[in-house]
Chain A
Amino acid sequence: MSSQKRKQVILGAYLGGVNHHTAWWDPQAGSQIEFDSFEHTARTAERGKFDFFFLAEGLALRERAGQIFDQDIIGRPDTFTVLASLAAVTEHLGLAGTINATFNEPYELARQFATLDQLSGGRAAWNVVTSFDAFTGQNFRRGGYLDRAQRYERAEETVALVRQLWDSWRNDDIVADKASGRFLARPDAGEFAFHGSHFDVNGRFTVPRSPQGRPVILQAGVSPQGRDFAAGNADAIFSPYGQLPEAADFYRDIKARAVAAGRDPGDIKILPSASFVLGTSEADAIEKYREIRDQQVTGQTALVLLEQIWNLDLSKYDPEGPLPDIAPDPEAPPIIQGRAFIHQDRFATVAKLRAVAESKKLNLREVVIDQFERGPIVGTPQQVAEKIDSFVSNDGSDGFILGSHLVPTGLDEFVDDVVPLLQDRGVLRSDYEGTTLRDNLGLPIPVQREHVTAR
C-alpha cells in the first residue's frame, strides 16, 4: 500500500422503505416500523464504521387511481423521533433525515435538528427537500401549492433562516457559573430577526449552539437551479448518477459550481445511493440479483411504473407484450399521487422507451427493467469493494449511500464481507477518529455568521 493516503470512501446507510425494491415478501424481512429494525441497521452501520445513517420521509400515502396503493410497502415512522432514539444506541454514526421544507416551519425544524444535534453530541444532518403538491398539502395547515419558482425561493429562505437560527447562539453564550450566578454571557443570546418574502419573523431561539457548529446539510439537485442551490448551500449532495462517465461529469460540475460560489470544492461531498448484491462468485451474484429483480419488478409493478409516465390506467396491458400503443395524457388528473415526480416531457420519454424496445427487442416489463432499474453493485465482496473504490477514486463520487433490499439484516453481509476489504485498501477508516458527523465527513466547522438583529 502506498504511503500516501488514498481518497477515502464516505459511506451512508439507508433503510429500504416505501418503494418496490424493498423485499417485504422475503421470509427474512422484518418490520418497517418497529424500532428493532432501525436499531439493527444503525448498529450494523456503526460496526462497519459508516459515516451516517439516513432516513427518508414521506408525508402522504401513495395512491393509484384514487386508492391507497397496496402492492408494496407503505407507512413509516416519524423521522426526527427515530433519529433521536437511534442517538441512544449509537456513538459515532451520523444521523441524517429528510425533512420537507414546505410542510415544516423553519423555527420548529431548526429547533428539532438543533436538539437532535445536542442529544447526539453533534451528529445530526438535514436532507432538505421541497414539495409543491397540493395532494400532500391536504394533511397540513399550509395546504396549498407553490409554483416551481416560488418553491425554490421558499426553500432558499428556509435554509437561510434555519442557518441563522443555528448561528443565533455563540459557542460561549452559556457561562453557567454557579458562584457568580451568571448563566448567560449576554441577555440576548439566541435573538434573531429575519425579513424575507416568505418569512417575516423574529424572536429568540431556545437551543444553544451545536457541538459541530451547525448540523450538516444534505441535498439533491439535478436541474441547473437545483445544482446551484445545492452547490451554494449543501455540505453533501445526493447524486442521481451511479455510472461513469456521467457521474464524473456531475461531480466536476457540482465542484465547479461550489468554487464559483466561493467554496472549497472539498467542502461539498457527492454521494449517489446504491444497493448491492453479493455472491460467492460473480455468476452467483448475478443470478441472485436476477431473482431479486424479478420479484421487485413484477408485471404489475412494471405497469404502475409506466403509469407514472403515461398518466393513464394501463392495467389492461400485458406486461409481457409490447408497450402501450396509446399516447400519454399530461392533462388528466394524476393517476399516481404521493410519489416524488421529476418533471419531464412525457411524450419524449415515451418515444425513448419505444426506441429502446424496438432496438433491443424488449417487452414492456423488460423495458421497465432496462430503463428504470438502476442496477445495484453486484459481485463477490472483492469485486464490490473494487467497484466502490474505483468509482470513488475516479471521482464518480465521494462515496455511497448504501442500502439493501432486505430490511433489517441486509446490511450485515456488506459489513462482514466488504468493509474489511475497503479497510485493507486503505479507503475506509478502521476506527472513528472524531466525535461529530463533520469529523466523520472531514468537513470544517462552519464559520459563524454575525447577524444584525432588527430590534
Chain B
Amino acid sequence: MTSTPSSHLAPLHLAVALDGAGWHPAAWREPHSRPSELFSASYWTDVVTTAERGLLDFVTIEDSLSVPANPLEPVDDAVDRVRARLDAHLVAARLAPITSNIGLIPTITTIHTEPFHVSKAVATLDYTSRGRAGWQVKVSASESEAAQFGRRDIPALTDADRQSIVSGILPDFVRALFDEAAEAADVVRRLWDSWEDDAEIRDVEQRRFIDRDKLHYIDFEGKYLSVRGPSVTPRPPQGHPVVTALAHQRVAYELAARTADLVFVTPFDDEQVTAILGEVRAAEEHVQRTGEPLRVFTDIVVFFDAPEETGKERLARLDAQAGAEYRSDALTFTGTAAELADLLLRWQQLGIDGFRLRPGVVVDDLDAIAGELVPELQRRNVFRTEYPQTNLRGLLGLPIDVPNRYAAGTPAA
C-alpha cells in the first residue's frame, strides 16, 4: 500500500488499555506498582490523571465477569497473579468527576447482562462525564461466567475449540454469542434514541413535563432479545457514546462492523496491518455498514526502555518472575519512545487511525507514554498539545451530530 503525501498530517489518536497493575502477569511486583491499592479509588485516580496529563484520547478499562485469567488457558489456581477485579463501568463512573477531557471507555460484557441496564448505565456515564463516555462491547463466552448466573448453559471450551479459536475459527456456539452481542448492542443504541434530544419541554402552563411524541417504544423483537423501551434515561449528551470492540478474526470484525464506531485490532507486522485493514473493510461491506467507516485502532503491549534497564531486559526480568514467557494476542513492543513513534507513524501511513497501548506495567509504562512518547509525537507535530473543547466523539473525529433514528424526518435506520 502506498501513502498519500498529506496523510502524515492526519492527527494521530492515542489511547491506553488499563488492566489491573498492567498487562504482564508479574507487573504488580514491580517496585512502583501498588498492588494492595488496585481495588481502591486512589490508584485509579492517579492512573487516569497521568493519562489525561498525556492528552490521550481515552482510557479503556478491562473487565470480565470472572477472575482475571488468560481466556485461552484453562482457569488455574495460581496465587501469584492479580486474581480479582472491580466492575469496570463503575471504575469509569468514579473517575468521571475528577477528569475533564479524557474519554472513559469501560468494558461491559453482553450475554449475561441486560441491554436495558447497559444502555442507561453508559448514557449516565455520558452525563456524569459530560460527554466522554464509551463502551467496549465484550462477549462472555465462558462456561464459568454462565455458571455464576445459572440462567443458561454455555459449554466448556475443549482443547480442540481452543486450537480452532487460535487459528481464527470460532465454534458454532461462540459465533451465536457474537450474533447475540450484536443484537444487544443494537438494543442499547435504540434505547439511546428512544428519547429525542428535546423531549423534555417543561411546559408549566399546560402542566406537561415532556412531549410524549418525542419518546419512542423501540419494540425490539430479535432472535435473542425482546425489549420494549423507551429507556428511563434521556438521550445521552453525545447522542451515542462511542462504541468499541476488540476483534481478531472475521466474526468479530463483523460484530464490530455491525455495532461499533471503533475497532481494536492486533497486527504483528506491516503486512498484517494491511491484511487486517482489508478484512475490516470486507467485513463492513459484508454486513452492509452504512455511514461512518469503522475507526481502526491497533493494540500494542509496551515495555519502554528505562534509565537502568532496556524494555527487553525489563520484560525478561518480569518473565523470570512469572515463570513463563509473556504471550499476548497483540504485538509486544520493547524499546524507546522514539522507536515506538516510528512504528506508530509507519502504521498510520498504512491506514491505521489510532493506537491503543497496553502498558506492560501500568505505573511505569503509562508514565513513559505521557512523559516520553507523547512529547516525542508532539515534537514531530503529529499529536495535540492541548485538548480541544469537544466531547469524546469530537476528539476522535467522529460526527458529533448523531441523527436519531426515531425522530420525525430521520430516515429509518
Q: Which of A136-144, A381-389, A390-398 participates in binding chain B? A: A136-144
Is the pair B233, A33 in contact by a Cβ cutoff of 8 Å?
yes
Provide the residues of chain A in CB contact with B64, threshold 8 Å: 206
Contact with A along B52-85 (1 / 0, CB 8 A): 0000000000001111100000000111111111
Is the pair B86, A115 in contact by a Cβ cutoff of 8 Å?
yes
User: Known: A39-B97, A138-B227. Is A75-B211 also a contact (CB below 8 A)?
Assistant: no
- Assess whether A291 is interfacial by the CB under 8 Å rule: no
Provide the residues of chain A in CB contact with B68, threshold 8 Å: 206
Known: A70-B209, A80-B121, A81-B128. 18 other contacts (CB 8 A): A24-B209, A33-B234, A78-B123, A78-B233, A84-B93, A103-B114, A107-B112, A108-B149, A119-B41, A119-B44, A139-B227, A174-B36, A176-B28, A178-B31, A181-B26, A188-B77, A204-B67, A207-B87
Contact of A75 among B33, B90, B200 (CB under 8 A): B200
Residue of A nearest to B40 (CB): A118
Within 8 A of B (CB), among A53-90: 58-61, 67-68, 70-78, 80-82, 84-85, 87-89
- Assess whether A264 is interfacial by the CB under 8 Å rule: no
Is the pair B86, A207 in contact by a Cβ cutoff of 8 Å?
yes
Contact with A along B213-230 (1 / 0, CB 8 A): 001000000000111111
Is the pair A68, B215 in contact by a Cβ cutoff of 8 Å?
yes
Q: How far is the CA of A184 from the CA of B36 in the complex (A)?
A: 11
Q: How far is the CB of A48 from chain B (nearest CB, A)?
A: 20
Q: How far is the CB of A332 from chain B (nearest CB, A)?
A: 21
Is the pair B215, A61 in contact by a Cβ cutoff of 8 Å?
yes
User: Known: A33-B233, A182-B80, A201-B147. Is A206-B85 also a contact (CB below 8 A)?
Assistant: yes
Provide the residues of chain B in CB contact with A82, threshold 8 Å: 93, 124, 128
Is the pair A104, B117 in contact by a Cβ cutoff of 8 Å?
yes
Is the pair A67, B212 in contact by a Cβ cutoff of 8 Å?
yes
Provide the residues of chain A in CB contact with B33, threshold 8 Å: 178
Provide the residues of chain A in CB contact with B232, threshold 8 Å: 58-61, 74-76
Q: How far is the CA of A369 from the CA of B151 in the complex (A)?
A: 46
Is the pair B96, A70 in contact by a Cβ cutoff of 8 Å?
no
Residue of B nearest to A105 (CB): B149
Q: How far is the CA of A108 from the CA of B66 in the complex (A)?
A: 11
- Assess whether A203 is interfacial by the CB under 8 Å rule: yes
Q: How far is the CA of A75 from the CA of B214 in the complex (A)?
A: 13
Is the pair A140, B114 in contact by a Cβ cutoff of 8 Å?
yes
| A residues in contact (CB < 8 Å) with B | 24-25, 33-35, 39, 58-61, 67-68, 70-78, 80-82, 84-85, 87-89, 103-105, 107-108, 111-112, 115-116, 118-121, 138-141, 143, 169, 174, 176, 178, 181-190, 199-204, 206-208, 298, 300
User: Known: A119-B86, A298-B207. Is A77-B120 also a contact (CB below 8 A)?
Assistant: yes
Provide the residues of chain A in CB contact with B215, threshold 8 Å: 61, 68
User: Known: A24-B202, A59-B116. Is A78-B121 also a contact (CB below 8 A)?
Assistant: yes
Is the pair A187, B79 in contact by a Cβ cutoff of 8 Å?
yes
Residue of A nearest to B86 (CB): A115
Is the pair B41, A121 in contact by a Cβ cutoff of 8 Å?
yes
Q: How far is the CA of A395 from the CA of B212 in the complex (A)?
A: 45
Is the pair A77, B127 in contact by a Cβ cutoff of 8 Å?
yes
Provide the residues of chain B in CB contact with A169, threshold 8 Å: 84
Residue of A nearest to B210 (CB): A70
Residue of A nearest to B216 (CB): A68
Q: How far is the CA of A182 from the CA of B35 in the complex (A)?
A: 11
- Assess whether B39 is interfacial by the CB under 8 Å rule: yes
Provide the residues of chain A in CB contact with B86, threshold 8 Å: 115, 118-119, 206-207
Q: How far is the CA of A72 from the CA of B125 in the complex (A)?
A: 25
Interface of A is mostly: loop
Is the pair B40, A202 in contact by a Cβ cutoff of 8 Å?
no
- The 27 sampled A-B contact pairs (Cβ below 8 Å) are A33-B233, A35-B96, A39-B97, A61-B232, A75-B200, A78-B124, A80-B90, A81-B124, A85-B97, A103-B114, A104-B117, A108-B113, A115-B90, A116-B90, A118-B39, A118-B41, A120-B41, A176-B36, A178-B28, A178-B30, A183-B28, A183-B35, A189-B84, A202-B147, A203-B145, A206-B86, A207-B87
Contact of B112 among A78, A105, A119 (CB under 8 A): A105
Is the pair A181, B149 in contact by a Cβ cutoff of 8 Å?
no
Q: How far is the CA of A201 from the CA of B147 in the complex (A)?
A: 6
Q: How far is the CA of A73 from the CA of B95 in the complex (A)?
A: 29
Q: How far is the CA of A61 from the CA of B216 in the complex (A)?
A: 11
Is the pair B207, A206 in contact by a Cβ cutoff of 8 Å?
no
Q: How far is the CA of A275 from the CA of B348 in the complex (A)?
A: 59
Provide the residues of chain B in CB contact with A35, threshold 8 Å: 96-97, 127-128, 130
User: Known: A88-B95, A203-B148. Is A72-B80 also a contact (CB below 8 A)?
Assistant: no
Residue of A nearest to B75 (CB): A204
Provide the residues of chain B in CB contact with A78, threshold 8 Å: 117, 120-121, 123-124, 233
Provide the residues of chain A in CB contact with B96, threshold 8 Å: 35, 85, 88
Is the pair A84, B78 in contact by a Cβ cutoff of 8 Å?
no
Q: How far is the CA of A182 from the CA of B26 in the complex (A)?
A: 10
Q: How far is the CB of A1 from chain B (nearest CB, A)?
A: 38
